[in-house]
Structure 1
Amino acid sequence: MLRSVTAELDLDLGSSVDLIFQIAVAQRVPVVREELTFAQGERVYTPTEIVDQSGTRLHRVAGECGLLQVRYEAVVGAQVPARPTSDLEAVTYLRPSRYCQSDEVFAQARRQFGGLQGAELIASVDEFVATSTTYTPGLSQGTDSAVTTLMTGQGVCRDYAHVVIALLRAMDVPARYAACYAPGLEPMDFHAVAEAYLDGTWHVIDATRLADRRSLVRIATGRDAADCAFVSYHGGRVGLAAMRVDAAVIDEVDAMDAGAHASASPDPTASDADDYSQLVQLA
């Protein structure tokens, strides 16, 4: 399965500012071709790439006052087996975090999912969040947490992922957050899913039901959205003037075209609806 992904950001920098981007596909994703540029008028910046312990690629740029245009485009191949998870990493994803307060939802999780284990527990949490939360673009705040979403019953993909993660951690299942490109997503944007650790493997949970989990492309991995923001900055003012994100499953002919992201074709392995009763891995 070949997938084409694109991200275009226009940022209005009010002064000199330290910018950190997480829009490139993760380290282990098999890249066929890739291009990432940062430009202000005639000036082109060369970013510093930093790779964290989970394989997330961060690109750091020292921008100056003015309009910064960020362009990323890649074609990626088939998924590869996920890297091994250390005991320390698994323990880290059992702990409460800023947006996934598993300690605060402990009582609810134990009351609602008590007695369930393994795949049955994961499926039950997934179904609960999918049916109890309404997808509502524009109403969720960037500071909303799993507790907020459980109270309001509404949110976007990041909120669904936070609730799933918090409930699973409360049930002693390591769970983490993954930012990704999602072919077929409607409305198209950067997407977020949860991952649960079971039998030595991380499995994707997308309670939004908005994308085929088998075609997702990993960008960043962390405890919650605070670790996976597509851009963060320090020391200045930044405004988002424009943004476009695209992702599609393509064929090999499209992959040879410099404008591959503009011409999608259906993938025969993803023609059927995603079966949410099955565990799926994200490389």
Structure 2
Amino acid sequence: MRLSIDVHLDYGIAGDADVLLQIEAAAMPDQRIEEQSLTIWSDSPIRAVPGEDGIGQRCWARGHGRLTAVYRAVVKVERPVVALGAYGTTPPRLLPGDVTAYLMPSRYCQSDRFEGFVAREFPGLDGGALAAALSAWVGNALDYRMGSSSGETTALDTFASRSGVCRDYAHLLVALARAGGIPARCVSAYAPGVDPPDFHAVAELWLDGAWRLVDPTGMASCGDIARVCIGRDATDIAFMTVFGQATLWTQTVRVRALDDETA
């Protein structure tokens, strides 16, 4: 799958503010960057730094009154689609050191509060079978509803309200998976077919010795997703973090699937 990505951000900045952007698709073995450009209008130098766990790239900018950024890319995704239930499990004691952190509760994914629920509702399941059951449960239990959550909504809030947007679906699946002994992390991504078109949030679960992409909203297949960055929860994967105050003027995200012949 080849994806064409076109992003335009235009924000008003109150005074001066440092801004951290995470909008560039990550170069990884299963997704190759064929074309890419990022233009930021700023009077100050732009500084790039590695993303969480070295995946993707963050970009520091300085906004003065206004911050405008345009990102365009063509990404070729080469990732097989395999049913989650086909994957085995890895006991926590055998996890790699850098994966262990994704078993722990985090600010928006309070996995320790879901352990009883997972044990009671999904008895006898582990590994891919549990991952598939949890993803299906989240997709069926929640209503996708714009405006039903905020930047402060946690997995517990979403579990109680039974509604949310992609960020909330990802938080809840990640929290449930960790509660069931499966390392899980949140992923900021681009995918075609997201409605409404926007930055997308999905999850990755550690199964059979590797990270496996899952979209609990059901809007995207793992073979259609281009990762931007990863992290414990929304704290780490926000597309823009403003150390000050900002006002949205214009924001558009367009992702299209391309045929190989149209390169």
TM-score (normalizing by structure 1): 0.83
Q: Give SS of 2:197's match.
A: coil
Distance in 2, matches of 1:180 and 1:54, equals: 16
1:95 to 88, 100, 104: 104
- Paired residue for 1:2? 2
Q: Which has the higher strand share?
A: 2
The answer on 1:136 being equivalent to 2:136 is: no
Q: Which amino acid aligns with 2:3?
A: R
CA deviations over 1:107-166 (Å, ceiling 9, x no partner): 111111221011110111011111111100111111111100110000011111111111
- Paired residue for 1:146? 155
Q: Give SS of 2:186's match.
A: strand
Distance in 2, matches of 1:150 and 1:125, equals: 13
Q: Which amino acid aligns with 1:106?
A: E
Q: Give SS of 1:116's match.
A: coil
Q: Pairwise CA RMSD of aligned residues?
A: 1.7
Structure 2 residue runs of 5 or longer lacking an equivalent are 81-94
Decide whether the 8 Å contact of 1:56 with 1:220 is kept in 2.
yes
Q: Which amino acid aligns with 1:67?
A: R
- Paired residue for 1:120? 129
Distance apart, 1:252 and its partner CA: 4.6
- Paired residue for 1:247? 255
Identity %: 36
Distance apart, 1:18 and its partner CA: 0.7
Distance in 2, matches of 1:254 and 1:16, equals: 43
The answer on 1:56 being equivalent to 2:64 is: no
CA shift in 2, pair 1:48/1:147, >3 Å = same
- Paired residue for 2:83? none
Distance in 2, matches of 1:7 and 1:46, equals: 21
Distance apart, 1:78 and its partner CA: 3.3
Q: Give SS of 1:91's match.
A: helix
Decide whether the 8 Å contact of 2:9 with 2:68 is kept in 1.
yes
Distance in 1, matches of 2:19 and 2:140, equals: 38
Decide whether the 8 Å contact of 1:160 with 1:207 is kept in 2.
yes
Q: Which amino acid aligns with 2:17?
A: V
2:197 to 188, 201, 209: 188
CA deviations over 1:230-273 (Å, ceiling 9, x no partner): 10021x32111110001111135643xxxxxxxxxxxxxxxxxx
Distance in 1, matches of 2:161 and 2:225, equals: 28
- Paired residue for 1:33? 35
Distance in 1, matches of 2:157 and 2:262, equals: 43
Distance in 2, matches of 1:146 and 1:159, equals: 7
- Paired residue for 1:201? 210
Distance in 2, matches of 1:205 and 1:77, equals: 18
Distance apart, 1:206 and its partner CA: 1.3
Structure 1 residue runs of 5 or longer lacking an equivalent are 256-283
The answer on 1:75 being equivalent to 2:74 is: yes
Q: Which has the higher helix share?
A: 2
- Paired residue for 2:24? 24
> How many residues get paired?
246
Decide whether the 8 Å contact of 2:144 with 2:165 is kept in 1.
yes
